[in-house]
Amino acid sequence: MDFSLNFIKQFVDIKSSAQELAKLLTSAGLEIENLEKTADDWVFSAEVTTNRYDWLSIIGIAQEVAAVSGKKINLKYPRTKTTPKIEKKKIIINNLEDCPYYLGRTIKKTKVGQSPEWLKKLLINCKIASVNNIVDATNYCMLKWGNPLHAFDLDKIEGDICIRRAKDKENFIGIDQKQRTLTPENLVVADSKKVIALAGVMGAKNTEVTADTKNIFLEAAKFSPTTVRRSRRGVGLDTESSYRFERRVSELCLEYASGEAVDLILKLAKGEFGGYKKVGRKTEEKPKQITISLTKMKNYLGTDFRLPEVKKILNSLNCKVKKVSADKIKVKPALSRFDLAREVDVYEEFARIYGYNKIKAKLPFVIKDLKKNPVLDKEENSWKFKNKIRDFVALLGFSEIITYSMENRKELAIITKERGLSLRNPLRSQENSLRPRLSLGMIKSIKHNLNRGKEDLTFFEIADIYKKKSKNKVKESSFLSLGVTGDKERFFQLKGAVWEVLSYLNIKPAVSENTMASFSNSLELKAEGKIIGFMAKLDQKVKNKFGLKEDLFISELDLDLLEQLKKGKKFRSFSKFPAVWRDISLAIDKNIKFRKISKIIEEGSQYLSDLKIVDTYQGKNLPKDHFGFTLRLFYQSSQKTLNSDQVDIYHNQIREKLHDKKGIILR
Amino acid sequence: MAEEIKNIKESFKKDLEKAENKDSLENLKVKYLGRKSKISQLFSNIPNLAKQERGHWGKELNILKNKISSAIKEKLSKEVQKEEKIDLTYPAKYPQKGSIHILSSVTKEICLIFKELGFNVIEGNEVEDEWHNFSALNIPLDHPSRDAFDTFYLDLDKKDKKSGSWLLRSHTSPSQIRIMQQVDPPLAVISPGRVYRPDVVDATHSFMFYQIEGFVVGQDISFSHLKGVLLYFARQFFSQEVQLRFRPHFFPFTEPSAEVDVSCVICSQKNKQKNKERCPVCKGKGWLEILGCGMIHPNVLEACNIDSKKYQGFAFGMGVDRIIMQKYQINDIRLFYENDKNFLKQFPL
């Protein structure tokens, strides 16, 4: 809400500077976001909270200014003309929920023209453009009282006036010249033939007041906040009028706003009063009395004050205060203050004028009373668990990424058969589904970086995935995804990281090769019979579909399961004696999995402590379809230093076992 | 003999000068001190000398040998030192380091500050229902935030009539409601996590962002405690010097409600008056809005079956993305979700 300081000064005597006033209003809850000097005035831009519809009017703000500066407001209520009645036109409200109350007044033989300078200036300083004397008069009264008004060209209204919902696909051209197609979500004001206004939002071009207009129909109404909001959002409009109707308008001021507008039009555009008609009825009840205990209020705010202070502040806000006992008072809120309904509302009214910043900051505390509770423990443990995993994976050289929880349904289908959970109202089709797997976010972040010349990426993410369990149930669980790009050797870095994580949690996985859609190669990981995750290489087709410049290896692990399966650790003693190594060179048939060889070796000697590949080769010297490498085997005892002869014996036993196997050639 | 010693001395002097590296010095050792060296030969000649001269020349030869030996040693040790000098001004080789996303690390940092005060951390679920996200929080059925314009709804049937539609939480409050329903006060809870609102993405808006909310409920919890806890947080998180400003505000779930500004952490309110160089972060206002808070509305406590006559409390909430953007002067929220390596590596922990 933008307002002019001169406008406010019509109703309250202000001594302080504009800057001081802005500060006072801000600390009372009417935040002045911007202050702008004009030739002889100040323009205030205020952020009005949704509960204070009364601050969308000059008189409401003047009341607040009076309260914060200890002044009284000076306001005269106009006498309004209610006779003669409008006889020729019926006003019909289809649904009183949409429009409980509607006032019409007519003015005849007006002369439309420019507004006088004082009015133009006042409107401009409230950031409203001057149109002509009729429209300006309605805007002036809207600003003053908070009730939006609309002036129609009476001669262009055909037949009776009806407030009804729009028909589906009904057309509307507003005074902004734009054409819009309406739905029954829009409330309209219509005559017997056409829509003449989008109720509470904007008038129609067809009945606009122009230079030729002679006779005026002036609308003042109360429209349902929800109806106006949905209506204007549906057509993508946001006007001074809808802004006020959405917050609610005062029934009390409706008559004054309409009546004063007539007087002003008669003054500025001559003419004569035509008639008056009201339809519907007032629905507002008067605000109720609230009983307050001063002791409770002090305890609630955590500060000390005396009754006269409370009385003075509440009176300045037009609330009546009656003392009932030493500790209790009865508060009767101002008629416009429907937001004051409970004790706590009064506490706030007092506190905001008293000054939030006068209340001392104290540390409580309940800490000493806080009890252990299994619900809280479970939640906090899972938070701690995820933090540890995050720290640990970062320690392994991975960079954490954070990607959107929603993805496009079709893109998700490329990487998983599992269906995402659809959003009923997606913002855009790129994100119309909650993800059942983290990989897609990983792929996109990898792509972003590869396209910018980065290579050999190692990323991870910890986030939730979502699965539809039945037609009205969802399962949300936490997952860890790891992504590594580069040549095929890089897969083993991913594998190493996964092994590190599992070993950190003391979980021994069972591994098996499986097939997964969109992955050319994959390993499934199980622990205690449950699937805990996978490691896989992204398919070439998928890689090309997403335009990745490097191969991508992905692993996903179920963190909720890992948290359940993790085991505590205790110290394990290690050998004090040195390990001795022997190399062994092999050529193996390409169809034999390395796992088969390592199994033979591992089972070959109780002293085998480690095994690694020190050299690999391919070439002419090897039989067809064979692959060569040198393994280094480490032997170690926890009891003694193994001597060379002993190690040779163990090593030869392993060599012999390997020698016996088909497809393995010792070299 | 004297002649010979003199010759050795002279030729050694020349050789030593010429010797410029470790190898040539090692060769000198062999040449002058080795088994086949001149000195060795002279030594083996000593028995052939006159008896009274033997002692004298033996001594002289020993002196010569020692001199040569220590000269070589000295130069050798200098050479060794010289050789081991490497050019340390070459560029560093960085280890492959990992990193934690700034949204994660700051979220954790904030939660740990509240944990120092005894708060319990709870995350809750992101998929929620209307009752927990709105109704329990005193948000009326026709409130704009419930519109499809402001909340993402899921394409699922309702669990039951009371719960209403499934949705993506628009704040972390529903997770706190669940705790209030299950655990008796006193309670002090902090809840971080992802939240969702259908805002069109631009430099300052994202349909997914991070929030931290907290609440305390007890028998004597007051507005001044709310101020105390938030001041403690702000001084731990920003700096010991910061001030807070509480402005009355409106939220359906708190009464009284306030918005809280922190004195600008970038300019320390110094260029408040200087309009020439306005602080780019607070725009010269001196204050930055960081959170919303208030005393929990009695309707909220009652919705969770907590007796509002006996218990009272406060609650607060802040956007993590926004606080980070202010603190580190990041001008585009999209940077958080784009995961560009150049961004990630700037905030490793």
pLDDT: which is higher, A177 or B279? A177
In a domain, B214, yes or no: yes
Closest-CA distance, A25 to chain B, in angstroms, reads 10
Residue B271 confidence class, pLDDT cut points 50, 70, 90? low
Condensed to tens digits (0 to 9), the pLDDT of residues A107-124 reads 999 999 999 999 999 999
Please tell me whether residues B63 and B123 are part of one structural domain: no
Write the CATH number for B278: 3.30.930.10
In a domain, B93, yes or no: no
Please tell me whether residues B54 and B142 are part of one structural domain: no
> For residue B16, what is the DSSP state?
H
The residue from B84, B113, B147 where one domain ends is B84
Closest-CA distance, B238 to chain A, in angstroms, reads 17
Question: Helix (H, G, I), strand (E, B), or coil: what is residue A131?
Answer: coil
Which residues 448-487 in chain A show a CB within 8 A of chain B? 448-449, 452, 454, 457-459, 462-464, 466, 468, 471-474, 476
Question: How confident is the model at residue B28, as a pLDDT?
Answer: 82
Cβ pair B144, B150 in contact under 8 A: yes
Query: Is A19 at the interface with chain B, CB within 8 A?
Result: no
Question: How confident is the model at residue B75, as a pLDDT?
Answer: 82
Cβ pair B70, B78 in contact under 8 A: no
Please tell me whether residues B262 and B337 are part of one structural domain: yes
Question: How confident is the model at residue B26, as a pLDDT?
Answer: 83
Question: Helix (H, G, I), strand (E, B), or coil: what is residue B32?
Answer: helix
By Cβ distance, the residue of A301, A387, A476 closest to B126 is A476
Does the structure show a pLDDT above 80 at B257?
A: yes
Cβ pair B276, B231 in contact under 8 A: no
Residue A215 confidence class, pLDDT cut points 50, 70, 90? very high
> For residue A636, what is the DSSP state?
-
By Cβ distance, the residue of B196, B222, B255 closest to A345 is B255
Query: Is B275 at the interface with chain A, CB within 8 A?
Result: no
The one-letter amino acid at A578: P
In a domain, B89, yes or no: no
In a domain, B96, yes or no: no
Residue B272 confidence class, pLDDT cut points 50, 70, 90? low
Question: How confident is the model at residue B71, as a pLDDT?
Answer: 84
Token code pair at residue A581: 């190594």
The one-letter amino acid at B310: K
d(CA A85, CA A408): 61
Cβ pair B313, B217 in contact under 8 A: yes
Find the radius of gyration of the CA atoms of chain B. Answer: 40
Cβ neighbours of A343 (radius 10 Å): 19
Please tell me whether residues B203 and B319 are part of one structural domain: yes
**Cis ω before B256 (30° cut-off from 0):** yes
> For residue B193, what is the DSSP state?
E
Residue with tokens 């560009």: B340
Condensed to tens digits (0 to 9), the pLDDT of residues A355-367 reads 999 999 998 765 6
d(CA A539, CA B86): 48
Q: Which of A356, A438, A482 to mutate to test the interface with B (most CBs of B within 10 A)?
A: A356
Condensed to tens digits (0 to 9), the pLDDT of residues A317-362 reads 999 999 999 999 999 998 888 889 999 999 999 999 999 999 999 9
Q: What does residue A22 show for φ and ψ, rounded to 5 degrees?
A: -60, -40
Q: Which of B149, B216, B246 to mutate to test the interface with A (most CBs of A within 10 A)?
A: B246
Cβ neighbours of A16 (radius 10 Å): 13
Q: What are the strands, taking DSSP E only, across B4-121?
A: 120-121
Question: How confident is the model at residue B6, as a pLDDT?
Answer: 86
Which residues 113-172 in chain B show a CB within 8 A of chain A? 117-118, 120-127, 142, 144, 147-149, 152-159, 165-166, 168
Mean pLDDT of chain A: 93
Residues in chain A with CB shorter than 8 Å from the CB of B127 are 421, 434, 466, 474, 476
Residue A534 confidence class, pLDDT cut points 50, 70, 90? very high
By Cβ distance, the residue of A301, A400, A424 closest to B154 is A424
Residue with tokens 């305890």: A299
Residues in chain B with CB shorter than 8 Å from the CB of A462 are 104
Mean pLDDT of B2-10: 84
Query: Is A387 at the interface with chain B, CB within 8 A?
Result: yes
d(CA B116, CA B323): 20
Question: How confident is the model at residue A367, as a pLDDT?
Answer: 65
Mean pLDDT of A83-112: 94
In a domain, B91, yes or no: no
Token code pair at residue A553: 């290896």
Q: Residue A427 and residue B198: Cβ atoms within 8 Å?
A: yes
Residue A240 confidence class, pLDDT cut points 50, 70, 90? very high
In a domain, B349, yes or no: no
Cβ neighbours of A638 (radius 10 Å): 11
d(CA A32, CA A2): 9
Mean pLDDT of B229-243: 95
Please tell me whether residues B50 and B145 are part of one structural domain: no
In a domain, B230, yes or no: yes
Residues in chain B with CB shorter than 8 Å from the CB of A431 are 207
Residue A40 confidence class, pLDDT cut points 50, 70, 90? very high
Mean pLDDT of chain B: 90
By Cβ distance, the residue of B179, B198, B223 closest to A351 is B223
- Name A553's bridge partners: A484, A537
Query: Is A593 at the interface with chain B, CB within 8 A?
Result: no
The residue from B52, B84, B116 where one domain ends is B84
Mean pLDDT of B15-20: 82
Please tell me whether residues B227 and B257 are part of one structural domain: yes
Please tell me whether residues B265 and B131 are part of one structural domain: yes
Residue A220 confidence class, pLDDT cut points 50, 70, 90? very high
Q: Which of A551-565, B30-44, B144-158 is the least confident region?
A: B30-44
Does the structure show a pLDDT above 80 at B190?
A: yes
Q: What is the CA A195 to chain-centroid distance, rounded?
A: 36
Please tell me whether residues B128 and B184 are part of one structural domain: yes
The domains located in chain A, with CATH, are 2-69 (3.30.56.10), 91-280 (3.50.40.10), 290-354 (3.30.56.10), 377-565 (3.30.930.10), 580-666 (3.30.70.380)
Q: In terms of Cα–Cα distance, which of A318, A263, A334 is closest to A77?
A: A263
- Count how many domains chain B has: 2
Question: Helix (H, G, I), strand (E, B), or coil: what is residue A510?
Answer: strand
Helix (H) or strand (E) holding B290: strand B287-296
Does the structure show a pLDDT above 90 at A495?
A: yes
Question: How confident is the model at residue B15, as a pLDDT?
Answer: 84
- Residues 6+ positions from A340 with CB-CB distance below 8 Å: A287, A290, A319, A331, A333, A346, A349
Closest-CA distance, A158 to chain B, in angstroms, reads 35
Please tell me whether residues B58 and B119 are part of one structural domain: no
> For residue A100, what is the DSSP state?
S
In a domain, B95, yes or no: no
Share of chain B above pLDDT 70, in %: 97
Please tell me whether residues B50 and B137 are part of one structural domain: no
Does the structure show a pLDDT above 70 at A368?
A: no
Query: Is A382 at the interface with chain B, CB within 8 A?
Result: yes
Does the structure show a pLDDT above 70 at A207?
A: yes
Residue A14 confidence class, pLDDT cut points 50, 70, 90? very high
Q: In terms of Cα–Cα distance, which of A441, A440, A561 is closest to A501?
A: A561
Mean pLDDT of A51-69: 94
Please tell me whether residues B50 and B175 are part of one structural domain: no
Q: In terms of Cα–Cα distance, which of A400, A395, A476, A374 is closest to A435?
A: A476
Please tell me whether residues B25 and B159 are part of one structural domain: no
Domain that holds residue B244: 104-344
